[in-house]
Amino acid sequence: MTTRINRRRFLGTTAALLAGPAIITGCATKNQGRPAPSERVVMGALGLGWQGPGNLKEFLANKDVQVVAVCDVDQNHLAQAKNMVDTVYGNTDCATYTRFEDMYARQDLDAMSIALPDHWHAVPAIAAAEAGLDIYGEKPLARTLAEGRAICDAVKRNKRVWQTGSWQRSVENFHRAAELVRNGRIGKMNYIEVGLGQGHTDYANTGGQTAFGPPPAELDYDRWLGPAPEAPYCPARVHKNWRWIMAYGGGTIMDWVGHHLDIAHWAMGLDGTGPVTVEGTGVIPTAGLWDAPTDYDCACTYASGLVIRISSAYPMGTKWVGEDGWLFVTRGKTEAEPASVLDEVLGENEVRLYHSRDHCGNFIECVKSRKETITPCEVAHRSASVGHLCDIALYTGRKIRWNPKTEEIKGDSGASEMLSPTYRKPWKLNT
C-alpha cells in the first residue's frame, strides 16, 4: 500500500528538536470486524483543539482507518482526543504524545492528520513528508508563501499523498457551480467577487483576556509558540483566536481563502497559477493584541486580464459574473441569473471536474491507490498564495507585481521579505 521507512533513522535526523519527556501509552489495536490490519491505513492525529477533533471523527468513522496515536501541546485537548479514539475502538490503546517528533518515530504509521495554528503548519508537515507519511493538512497551507512552497517541495520530493482541508470541493453545490462556470454556462467571464468575512470573531470568548500572566499548567506554551517570536502568554493569544494575530495567522483573508477563493480558482482552471498584480486597501488595527485586517478590498489581476476582487464587503462565497449572467455559491446556497442556469444539463463531452463527496474518505482512497487527491498540495499553495499577496499589499500599501511562475515579487525588496517567515531558534524551515 505504501512504503514505510525506518522511523528510527528519521528520529536521528531530528534529535536536535527533542527536549523533555513525551507521554506515551500502549498502542495495541483490535480487529472489531474491520479490514485486516495490513489493509488499514494506520494514522496519527496532530493538533486537536478545534478542527482537529472534527477531522479525527471523520477518520475514526472510516473502516479502512486505524487511529493509533494523538498529539497535542494541551493536556486537556490530548485527553479528550484519546477518549474519543478509545471510545470508538472500545479499548484504552490510543497512544498520546506532546511532541510530534516522538509520534513520527513510530514504526507503524502510514498517514497523519494535522490541524495546527498556521504558524505551526510548515515544520511538522515537512517532517511528516520526510518521515514517509501521507498527510491530511488544514487550510491555509501555511502562514507564509515561502513555507507553502517548501511544503509542496517536500511532498513532491518524498512522493507523498496530500489532501488539504478545503472540503468545499467535495460538496455537491460547489462542485456543480464550478462545473457550470467551467463549461461556459454564464458566458465569457467578466470578473469574480469573493467574500471571505469581516472583523475578528471571538471564537473562544477570550477576546478581553489580554492581561499577561503564567500559562495554565496543562499547556506547554513555549511549544505552542514554536517557531513564532517570543511573546508573553494571555488567553486571547492562543486557542481559536490566534488567527487574528499576524504572527500566527492571517485574519479572515487567510482563514477563508482556502475555501471560497479556492472554488473560484477551480472553476476557472487556475489551480496551477496566480495573479500577476495584487493591490488593495483595508483597515488594520493599530492598537491591541489582534492586528489582522478587519476590513479589506483587494483586486487580483491574472495574466488573461481577469480580475478576482476579494472584499470583506461581499457576502461569504464566490460570485462569477459573465457576459451571459452570474452565478453565486456559498455553503448551503447556489443562486444564478438567469435562474435557468442552475437547471442546465452537462453534455457527455463537456468538462467534468474531479468528483468526491467524502473529503477525508478521498484522502484515504488516495493513500491506498497513490492517486492525486481532490485538493493536493500545489492546489492549496496556489489558493493560499493569493491571500498572502493580499495581506502583503495591505500592509505595505503598495501594488504587488507577482510572477506566478518563479513566485517572486518584482521590484519591491521590502514586500519580498514578507514572503518568508522569521523563525526563532532552534526552529528552521527545511527546504
Instruction: Give all domains of the chain, ordered by start, each with its CATH number.
Output: 7-168 (3.40.50.720), 172-346+376-431 (3.30.360.10)
Q: Which residues are paired to 281 by β-bridges?
A: 297
CA-CA distance, 126 to 421, in Å (whole number)? 15
Place of cell 435562474: 339
Cβ-Cβ contacts under 8 Å for 385 (sequence gap 6 or more):
145, 148, 274, 404, 407
- pLDDT < 70 regions, the chain: 1-34, 37-38
> How many alpha carbons fall within 13 Å on the CB side of residue 263?
35
CA-CA distance, 37 to 50, in Å (whole number)? 29
CA-CA distance, 147 to 32, in Å (whole number)? 41
CA-CA distance, 283 to 371, in Å (whole number)? 43
| Sheet containing strand 307-311, strands side by side | 333-337, 325-330, 317-322, 189-195, 307-311, 295-301, 277-283, 400-403, 408-409
Of 163, 62, 37, 50, residue with least CA distance to 112: 163
- Tell me the per-residue pLDDT of 199-211, one tens digit each, with 9 for 90 and over: 999 999 999 999 9
Of 375, 376, 386, 316, residue with least CA distance to 175: 375
- Tell me the per-residue pLDDT of 152-203, one tens digit each, with 9 for 90 and over: 999 999 999 999 999 999 999 999 999 999 999 999 999 999 999 999 999 9
> How many alpha carbons fall within 13 Å on the CB side of residue 410?
11
CA-CA distance, 221 to 219, in Å (whole number)? 5
pLDDT attached to residue 34:
67
Helix spans in 108-170 (H)? 122-130, 145-157
Q: In the 8-state DSSP scheme, what is residue 81?
A: H
Q: Which residues are paired to 299 by β-bridges?
A: 279, 309
pLDDT attached to residue 35:
74
Cβ-Cβ contacts under 8 Å for 172 (sequence gap 6 or more):
357
CA-CA distance, 56 to 84, in Å (whole number)? 9
CA-CA distance, 387 to 61, in Å (whole number)? 33
Helix 359-369 vs helix 51-60: crossing angle, to nearest 10: 60
pLDDT attached to residue 366:
98
pLDDT attached to residue 33:
56
